[in-house]
């Protein structure tokens, strides 16, 4: 980004870029580094949006939490699909490598396949944990039923 105060148009673009990171619950530090935006600018918007979120009614806040959880689950699903496709490609390459008799390439691809499988298992595990974790509204509703 250019030095100095950005124009209003540039500010809108910066807000839009930063909001994409904020909505995915990515830290301000990572958002600043990836968007090549000053950390203090990112932090300013993050604080502003956090205040808005905390100032809203509790039900609206709970809806936002549920929506965020659903977006993260969808993102994990996309990662699982991508890794599954990558595994298929690696298996295909392994078969071709074995046909050519290239053992060193086979070993490299086998290690890559194991890493990919391990990553997919970790993401599936994270998704299961996230799905199994009740949101605040569920806990509140359970407590109201008990009382």
pLDDT in tens, 109-134: 999 999 999 999 999 999 999 888 87
Say how many CA atoms lie within 13 Å of 21 toward its Cβ: 21
Q: Tell me the H-state helices in the chain.
A: 8-23, 28-35, 39-55, 58-100, 103-132, 136-146
Boundaries of every domain in the chain:
8-55, 58-146
Q: Residues 81-113: pLDDT tens digits?
A: 999 999 999 999 999 999 999 999 999 999 999
The model's pTM: 0.56
């Amino acid at each position: 980004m250019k030095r100095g105060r950005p124009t209003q148009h540039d500010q809108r673009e910066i807000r839009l870029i930063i909001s994409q990171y904020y909505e995915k619950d990515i830290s301000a530090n990572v958002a600043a580094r990836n968007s090549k935006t000053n950390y203090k600018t990112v932090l300013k918007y993050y604080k502003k949006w956090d205040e808005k979120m905390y100032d809203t009614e509790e039900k609206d806040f709970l809806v936002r939490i549920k929506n965020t959880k659903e977006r993260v689950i969808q993102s994990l699903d996309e990662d699982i699909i991508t890794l599954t496709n990558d595994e298929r490609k690696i298996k295909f390459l392994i078969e071709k490598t074995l046909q050519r008799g290239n053992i060193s390439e086979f070993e490299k691809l086998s290690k890559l396949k194991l890493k990919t499988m391990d990553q997919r298992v970790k993401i599936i595990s994270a998704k299961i944990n996230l799905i199994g974790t009740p949101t605040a509204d569920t806990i509140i509703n359970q407590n109201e039923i008990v009382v």
